[in-house]
Amino acid sequence: MAKKILMDSETIDRTIVRITSEILEKNKGARELAVIGIRTRGVHIAERIVKRINKLEKIKPPMGTLDITLYRDDLRRKTEWPKVERTEIPFSVEDKEVILVDDVIYTGRTTRAALEEIMDFGRPSSIQLVAMVDRGHRELPIQPDYLGIQVNTLSTEKVRVHLKETDGKDEVIVKKG
């Protein structure tokens, strides 16, 4: 199977540094920030962003993890329902600037589910989206506010973000379907 590396470990590091700076610039610091990662890999990217914010601003914004399974819009057609993992948002999202983190943005349906789930926890003053890769093919009017890279893909191809925490090494690859 043909596989192409889109980002290596260093590029991923630099991208997280850049995205974090953009977040801090746009929000004028980190005081009202909260970072929420979408399971599984969005959580690890979110952790890295929080670490970087802490280093730059000496503030550790609250962090949460989101499992969007119960909010999917394809539950009624999927043949096999995914296992439900735990959502953990151990802080109030009221009036927070929520930074929502996902690894890949594709149809936009995961983001839609995540937005709905966060709203059930309260009313943040804003939700801003971070994606490491935008692979196109959006089916909903949703765009990332902070983006690693944009790539043109065929819908038959697979884009995978691999991270040390789950996959042993950092890389973003695209595979022919």
Partner 1 sequence: MTFQRKHILGLEELSAEEITLILDTAESMKEVSARDVKKVPALRGVTVCNLFYEPSTRTRSSFEIAEKRLSADVLNFTLSHSSVTKGETLLDTARNLEAMGASVIVIRHPMSGSPWLLAKELNSSIINAGDGSHEHPSQALLDLFTIREMKGEIKGLKVAIVGDILHSRVARSNVWGLIKLGAEVRVVGPPTLIPKYIENANARTFYNLEEAIEGADVIIMLRIQMERQESVYFPSLREYSRFYGLTREKLKGADKDATVMHPGPINRGIELSSDIADDASSVILDQVSNGIAVRMAMFYLVASAGRNQ
One residue of 27, 54, 69, 107 binding partner 1 per CB under 8 A: 69
The mark string for 74-113 relative to partner 1 (x by CB under 8 A, - otherwise) is: -xx-xxxx-xxxxxx-------------------------
User: Which residue in 29, 84, 86 sits closest to 61, CA to CA?
Assistant: 29
* Window of 23-31, 43-51, 66-74, 155-163 that interacts with partner 1 by CB under 8 A: 66-74
Shortest distance, position 50 Cβ to partner 1, whole Å = 21
Q: Which is nearer to partner 1, 7 or 34 (by Cβ)?
A: 34
Q: Directed axis angle between helix 41-57 and helix 9-26, to 10°?
A: 60
One residue of 13, 122, 151, 160 binding partner 1 per CB under 8 A: 122
Report the helix count and the strand count for the chain, using DSSP H and E. 4, 8
Shortest distance, position 5 Cβ to partner 1, whole Å = 32
As given in the structure block, the two tokens for residue 56 are 């730059």
Q: How far is CA 147 from CA 9, 48, 71, in A?
A: 16, 15, 24
Are 125 and 95 in contact, with CB atoms under 8 Å apart?
Answer: yes
Sheet of strand 3-7: strand arrangement = 3-7, 171-175, 158-162
Shortest distance, position 135 Cβ to partner 1, whole Å = 26
Per CB under 8 A, 62 contacts partner 1: no
As given in the structure block, the two tokens for residue 166 are 């789950």
Q: Which is nearer to partner 1, 94 or 139 (by Cβ)?
A: 94
Binding site for partner 1 (CB under 8 A): 67, 69-71, 75-76, 78-81, 83-88, 116-117, 119-122
